[in-house]
Amino acid sequence: MALWWLSLALLATLLGLLALWLRQTYGYWARRGVLHDPPVWLYGNLHSVGRTTTALEPFRRFYERYKGRAPFGGFYFAVRGVAVLLDLELVKLVMVKEFNSFAHRGNYYNEQDDPISAHLFNLDGRDWREMRNKLTPTFTSLKMHQMLPTVVDIAERFVQVVREQVAVHAGAAESPVEVKNLLARFTIDVIGSCAFGLDCNSLNDPDVEFYHLGHKTFTDRRHGRLAFGLIQAFPRLARWLRIKMVSDDVSEFYMRVVRQTLEYREREGVRRNDFLNLLMELRSEPGGGLSFNQIAAQAFVFFLGGFETSSSTMGFALHLLALHPDVQQRGRVEVQQVLAKHRQLNYEALRELKYLKQIIYGESRELQFYDSQLIPFYFATAETLRKYSIASILIRKTLTDFRVPGTSHVLEAGLPVVIPVDAIHHDPDIYPEPEKFDPDRFTPEAIEQRHSAAYLAFGAGPRNCIGLRFGEMQSLVGLAVLLHNFRFSPARETEIPLQLNKTSFFLQSRGGIVLNVQQL
């Protein structure tokens, strides 16, 4: 009996201490006099995500409520205080001008026990800088040029598969096709070939392992939200406990694929124009090359970056184009003109697809400086990614105490800083009528009128998306061949508006995207 009372007293003491700690933790912003919303214990300000809202809503509401009242506001991720930026000048300072004070993302990874998690997106500090320097030459225009024929070959197979799906409905009034799955298979085959040197052929065989594990990488979480928040908040403890982030079967699969391909290429002396070849060349670089684990982790992140982001972008673009036939036709005419001139989709042809670029990609002035030839593509892709920002928030970690200009507030060392990309992209003062789909928001003249941090679909500054050109190339090729061969319109099953997945960190549609597809 005495033991029972003792246990109860111990439990009560522990709960009391936990409550005191949480009170102290959740008082962080109030003590500093920073605007903030009251948090829900243990969940912080993201309690609704995955239940009643997607990850977009809390940040949009927060931004709308506090924008103009302060350059940043206070927020809580689980038990961690984070600052949410509300002012574009401050965004630019954090991402570009004062980058050295905010160079980390602060993501958890575990090089020892979970080597595949130690990839460029997660790395920080010197490890990140060295890896970024090594990988940057992998994404030059020349390298993209060399990979383009592979992408075009797969795009031709893609058209054939879509034709077969449309043919199933021959003679019927409608020909509904689920395009999201087809786009995922297209990008899997492209990135499987370019990052892993494999002919995955998921376009013809949807049961291939690469396709299933590719999906699993995005759908299966090793940890629940609360555990994830705690791991991010206490990375040293998590490493000590040997906690992994990537599922074992996913990790084992990619490690095995890279090992087998490397061994085969070395044995047979095979060279190809792909990312794996470039990573292999880095293996024996003087002054410290890449280890096998490092190569596998980088191939893995190229796969993560290249598969879901680009297929979602194309899926969102097709949905928008189906609802806006005038924009679709303008894009198609451009593709027809460019193909009539060049006879094929070569690099020069891609450069001339100006309007298509406005529909999907797009960029701030900063990116235009580094590759002015790519501006046109921004029009098409840009407006899609403004409306549907695949990464709805970006994160940086403060490395040294940073006084916010014009205020007495300090972003303390170690504090995560959130850039609310989706909220900025839907700010009516920056993009009037933000729900309207209008690729002409991304003409060079219109871009010039806006703040350079007003468009952040690929991030900004030295830690922006390294795969931008590749993603751009594959999305542009994919959309160009689709518009050239098919017309898209809403079918009876088409969701309007498109419903989004509530549990995914990256923006995804909740289910498939069904559109009426007509062969031209």
In the annotated binding site, the residues are 465
Distance in angstroms between the alpha carbons of the first and the last residue of the chain: 82
In the annotated binding site for heme, the residues are 465
Q: What is the 3-state secondary structure (H, E, C) of 170-232?
A: CCCCCCEEEHHHHHHHHHHHHHHHHHHCCCCCCCCCCCCHHHHHHHHHHHCCCCCHHHHHHHH
Indicate if the alpha-carbon torsion angle 180, 186, 191, 192 is positive or negative.
positive
Instruction: Pick between residue 79 and residue 299 the one whose CB is nearest to ligand HEM.
Output: 299
Instruction: Pick between residue 79 and residue 454 the one whose CB is nearest to ligand HEM.
Output: 454
What b/e string do you get for 216-232 counting C-beta neighbours within 10 Å, with b at 16 or more? ebbeeebeebeebbbbb
- Alpha-carbon gap, residue 183 to 475, rounded angstroms: 10
Per-residue CA distances from 170 to 22, 85, 204, 487 (Å) = 63, 53, 20, 15
Per-residue CA distances from 297 to 228, 391, 393, 466, 471 (Å) = 20, 21, 23, 15, 19
The residue whose two tokens read 């927060």 is 62
- Using CB positions, name the residue nearest to ligand HEM: 459
Instruction: Pick between residue 45 and residue 364 the one whose CB is nearest to ligand HEM.
Output: 364
Reference 37, options 69, 66, 60, 70; nearest CA is: 66
Beta bridge partners of 395: 418
- State the minimum distance, in angstroms, from the CB of residue 385 to ligand HEM: 6
- State the minimum distance, in angstroms, from the CB of residue 274 to ligand HEM: 11
Instruction: Pick between residue 393 and residue 483 the one whose CB is nearest to ligand HEM.
Output: 393
Instruction: Pick between residue 166 and residue 418 the one whose CB is nearest to ligand HEM.
Output: 418
- Alpha-carbon gap, residue 365 to 319, rounded angstroms: 27
The residue ranges that bind ligand HEM (CB under 6 A) are 120-121, 132, 301-302, 305-306, 309-310, 313, 385, 390-391, 394, 457-460, 463-467, 470-471, 475
Instruction: Pick between residue 79 and residue 147 the one whose CB is nearest to ligand HEM.
Output: 147
